[in-house]
């Protein structure tokens, strides 16, 4: 399996991802996309928007769908009226449990601290760690040795008991050596921590002007439901899509971009008749899984996990996660790429009547100690009237909610491979190659003159210009051609086009396929049509 640090180093070296504000030491949980990364992530977003929204055929009934449906989009603000988050439940419920270390003054997410029991010198302690999976054992061993005042050569005196497990499974925190502590029992009992970033709107800065950076894009869609209905003549069933930044003050951001504090979501709220909502849930679950498969996440590292009934909210009849076995996770563990949730009418009713209590069934308004609504809704009518049947109802919602950064990271992990390719003398050389789907590749083709003389650069530049009008292409004439191929392999460029001695005689160029290394000749004038064919192999979009 690919080691994560190889991918991290490639991402940095080739300009896919950098730490945010790196020259000042970086800021934990924030990442910048470099010149290649920005193109890759844009392609992920554009593939999603094209496949889900602009390319959607409103007239056809897709396989597995109960009927045809419309798709439309929105782009809402990051800061919204604070009441939105009270009615959505984020103000009261969007918490993680954290523990503080009284010695190191560090704060950790309770469920993300792991560790192992160890016994030495008649004492048994739980050594906790937040190190990445590959470094966990080294970290706990080093700290256990220090705690028991043993040297590295005495590591055999440490009797490890059981495998790594998470801190919530440890009943007594007084036996725990915190991740950066030297003494036992320095971790506090778990406490709740709201993940929303708070800010202030306007110059006054008091509690009345407090607002939040959105922790999800979904709520912008719910509060605009009526606007979209009234302005665009859509009829149920239909979906509203949105791509945008979301912010969560994660207690322990980790695993590269997987858990960041600023990230991008790609969300759909699909509004349907309650009687059809289960069929639509199945449809979206299968369709979203097929989208990842189509773009290259084929194989056993991708899976769909249905939540068990006990994990579901009372109002939801189904939730499934699309998960990927990221290489930084312990073997057998999967990380969430996307959740597909049946949300019933919880959101629209909460924004209409006031915050509902998600523990009730059927859903009831949440009340305060005086029996008044805990958080008032907008009072606006968010029901839908079917103009053909005359029926009025609150639509049910199916929500496929994906992360653009997690998808980008999964595509990078899946694409990374090492193999051998012949150099210019035909000798096999190790190479690193990103086997990205051509739709996602930052550069679609690179154009090279074999040497920088004999008129080759001029022809290569003409080819480059003719392609540039249609695709993202790159021109390179510097250094040995083998090295230029290697650089494009690392960037994930699916095709390289080379102008050589034969071009001068017959106006043909070679095209080299990144994955198979096959090379063939095409006429200079056919480069655009050949590349169009190669990049759109006619595979059905999902
Ligand atoms: N509206 C539903 C919602 O926001 P979620 O499961 O909390 O659901 C949806 O988030 C997706 O957003 C996740 O599947 C993941 O891809 C992405 N996501 C959530 N938190 C993230 C984080 N801290 N860093 C990167 N991506 C994140």
Each residue of 232-277: pLDDT tens digit?
Answer: 989 999 999 999 999 999 988 889 999 999 999 999 999 999 999 9
From ligand 1's centre to the CA of 153, what distance in Å? 45
- Range list of H helices, 171-247: 218-223, 225-232
Q: Is the pLDDT of residue 347 over 70?
A: yes
Q: Is the pLDDT of residue 179 over 60?
A: yes
Question: Looking at residue 310, what is its pLDDT?
Answer: 85
Question: Looking at residue 356, what is its pLDDT?
Answer: 95
Q: Residues 323-350: what's their mean pLDDT?
A: 95
436 phi, psi to nearest 5 deg: -75, 145
Q: What is the DSSP letter of 53?
A: I
Residue 498 binned pLDDT confidence (cut-offs 50, 70, 90): very high
> What is the share, in percent, of the chain residues with pLDDT greater than 90?
88
Token reading at 232: 């665009």
- Range list of H helices, 272-340: 277-294
- Measured by CA distance, the residue closest to atom 12 of ligand 1 is 403
Question: Looking at residue 252, what is its pLDDT?
Answer: 85
Q: Is the pLDDT of residue 539 over 60?
A: no
Spell 29-57 as b/e; 16+ CB within 10 A means b: bebebbebbebbbbbbbebbbebbbeebe
- Measured by CA distance, the residue closest to atom 10 of ligand 1 is 401
Residue from 20, 249, 406, 407 whose mutation best tests the ligand 1 pocket (most atoms within 8 A of CB): 406
d(Cα 170, Cα 118) in Å, to the nearest integer? 13
| Alpha-carbon dihedral angle through residues 407, 408, 413, 419, given to the nearest 10 degrees | 140
d(Cα 335, Cα 147) in Å, to the nearest integer? 33
Nearest one of 9, 35, 1 to 417, comparing CA atoms: 1
Token reading at 145: 């040795």
Q: Residues 461-487: what's their mean pLDDT?
A: 95
- Range list of H helices, 205-345: 218-223, 225-232, 277-294
HSE-CB of 45 using CA atoms within 13 angstroms: 17
- Chain segment 355-378, per-residue pLDDT in tens: 999 889 889 999 999 999 999 999
Question: Looking at residue 1, what is its pLDDT?
Answer: 61
Q: Is the pLDDT of residue 144 over 70?
A: yes
Question: Looking at residue 423, what is its pLDDT?
Answer: 79
Q: Residues 179-183: what's their mean pLDDT?
A: 96
At what angle are helices 404-415 and 35-49 packed, to 10 degrees?
A: 110
Q: Is the pLDDT of residue 311 over 90?
A: no
From ligand 1's centre to the CA of 475, what distance in Å? 38
For CA atoms 242, 244, 249, 254, the dihedral sign is positive
From ligand 1's centre to the CA of 3, what distance in Å? 24
Q: Are 168 and 86 in contact (CB under 8 A)?
A: no
Q: Is the pLDDT of residue 106 over 60?
A: yes
Q: Is the pLDDT of residue 186 over 70?
A: yes
- Chain segment 30-72, per-residue pLDDT in tens: 999 999 999 999 999 999 999 999 999 999 999 999 999 999 9
Residues in the chain: 542
From ligand 1's centre to the CA of 109, what distance in Å? 16
Q: What is the DSSP letter of 60?
A: S
From ligand 1's centre to the CA of 247, what distance in Å? 10
Q: Residues 201-210: what's their mean pLDDT?
A: 86
Q: Is the pLDDT of residue 537 over 80?
A: no
Q: Burial level of 59, CB count in 10 A (0-12/13-18/19+)? A: exposed
- Measured by CA distance, the residue closest to atom 22 of ligand 1 is 259
Residue from 74, 197, 217, 265 whose mutation best tests the ligand 1 pocket (most atoms within 8 A of CB): 265
Task: Collect contacts of 17-24 with beta carbons under 8 A, ≥24 apart.
Answer: 17/256, 17/257
Nearest one of 494, 493, 492, 503 to 526, comparing CA atoms: 503
pTM, whole model, 2 decimals?
A: 0.91
From ligand 1's centre to the CA of 157, what distance in Å? 44
221 phi, psi to nearest 5 deg: -75, -45
How high does pLDDT run on average in the chain? 94
d(Cα 474, Cα 448) in Å, to the nearest integer? 9
> What is the share, in percent, of the chain residues with pLDDT greater than 70?
99
Question: Looking at residue 427, what is its pLDDT?
Answer: 86
d(Cα 283, Cα 342) in Å, to the nearest integer? 11
Is the bond leading into 255 cis (omega within 30 degrees of zero)? no
d(Cα 134, Cα 131) in Å, to the nearest integer? 8
Residue 541 binned pLDDT confidence (cut-offs 50, 70, 90): low
Q: Residues 460-489: what's their mean pLDDT?
A: 96
Question: Looking at residue 532, what is its pLDDT?
Answer: 95
Spell 374-411 as b/e; 16+ CB within 10 A means b: bbebbeeebebeeeeeeeeebbbbbbbbbbbbbbbbbb
Question: Looking at residue 101, what is its pLDDT?
Answer: 96
From ligand 1's centre to the CA of 511, what distance in Å? 40
The atom of ligand 1 lying closest to the CA of 250 is 23
| Alpha-carbon dihedral angle through residues 139, 141, 146, 151, given to the nearest 10 degrees | -130
Question: Looking at residue 542, what is its pLDDT?
Answer: 61
Q: Residues 313-325: what's their mean pLDDT?
A: 90
Q: Are 178 and 128 in contact (CB under 8 A)?
A: yes
d(Cα 458, Cα 449) in Å, to the nearest integer? 8
């Amino acid at each position: 399996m690919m080691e994560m640090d190889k991918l991290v180093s490639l991402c940095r070296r080739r300009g896919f991802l950098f730490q945010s504000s790196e020259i000042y030491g970086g800021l934990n949980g924030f990442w910048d996309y470099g010149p290649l990364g920005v193109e890759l992530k844009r392609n992920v977003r554009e593939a999603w928007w094209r496949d889900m929204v602009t390319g959607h055929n409103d007239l056809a009934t897709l396989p597995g769908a109960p009927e045809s449906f419309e798709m439309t989009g929105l782009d809402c603000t990051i800061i919204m009226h604070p009441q939105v988050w009270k009615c959505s439940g984020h103000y009261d419920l969007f918490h993680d449990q954290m523990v503080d270390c009284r010695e190191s003054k560090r704060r950790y997410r309770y469920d993300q601290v792991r560790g192992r029991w160890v016994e030495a010198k008649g004492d048994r302690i739980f050594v906790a760690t937040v190190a990445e999976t590959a470094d966990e054992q080294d970290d706990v061993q080093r700290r256990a040795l220090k705690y028991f005042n043993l040297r590295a050569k005495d590591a055999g005196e440490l009797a490890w008991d059981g495998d790594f497990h998470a801190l919530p499974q440890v009943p007594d925190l007084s036996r725990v050596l915190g991740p950066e502590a030297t003494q036992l029992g320095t971790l506090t009992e778990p406490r709740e921590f709201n993940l929303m970033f708070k800010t202030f709107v306007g110059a006054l800065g008091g509690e009345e002007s407090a607002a939040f950076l959105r922790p999800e894009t979904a709520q912008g869609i719910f509060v605009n439901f009526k606007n979209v209905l009234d302005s665009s003549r859509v009829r149920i069933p239909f979906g509203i899509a949105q791509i945008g930044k979301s912010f969560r003050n994660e207690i322990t951001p980790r695993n590269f971009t997987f858990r960041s504090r600023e990230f991008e979501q790609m969300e759909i709220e699909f509004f349907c008749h309650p009687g059809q909502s289960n069929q639509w849930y199945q449809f979206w679950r299968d369709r979203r899984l097929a989208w990842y498969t189509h773009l290259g996440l084929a194989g056993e590292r991708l899976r769909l996990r249905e939540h068990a009934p006990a994990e579901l909210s009372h109002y939801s009849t189904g939730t499934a996660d699309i998960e990927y076995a990221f290489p930084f996770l312990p073997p057998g563990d999967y990380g969430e790429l996307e959740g597909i949730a049946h949300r019933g009418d919880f959101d629209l009713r909460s924004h209409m009547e006031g915050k509902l209590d998600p523990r009730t069934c059927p859903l009831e308004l949440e009340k305060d100690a005086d029996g008044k609504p805990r958080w008032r809704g907008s009072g606006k009518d968010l029901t839908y009237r079917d103009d053909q049947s005359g029926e009025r109802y609150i639509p049910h919602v199916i929500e496929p909610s994906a992360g653009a950064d997690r998808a980008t990271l999964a595509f990078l992990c899946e694409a990374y491979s090492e193999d051998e390719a012949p150099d210019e003398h035909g000798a096999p050389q190790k190479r690193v190659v990103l086997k990205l789907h051509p739709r996602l590749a930052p550069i679609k083709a690179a154009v090279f003159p074999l040497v920088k003389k004999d008129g080759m650069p001029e022809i290569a530049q003409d080819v480059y210009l003719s392609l540039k009008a249609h695709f993202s292409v790159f021109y390179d004439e510097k250094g040995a051609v083998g090295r230029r191929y290697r650089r494009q392999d690392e960037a994930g460029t699916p095709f390289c086009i080379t102008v050589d001695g034969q071009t001068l005689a017959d106006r043909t160029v070679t095209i080299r396929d990144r994955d198979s290394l096959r090379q063939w000749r095409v006429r200079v004038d056919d480069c655009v049509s050949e590349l169009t064919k190669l990049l759109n192999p006619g595979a059905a979009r999902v």
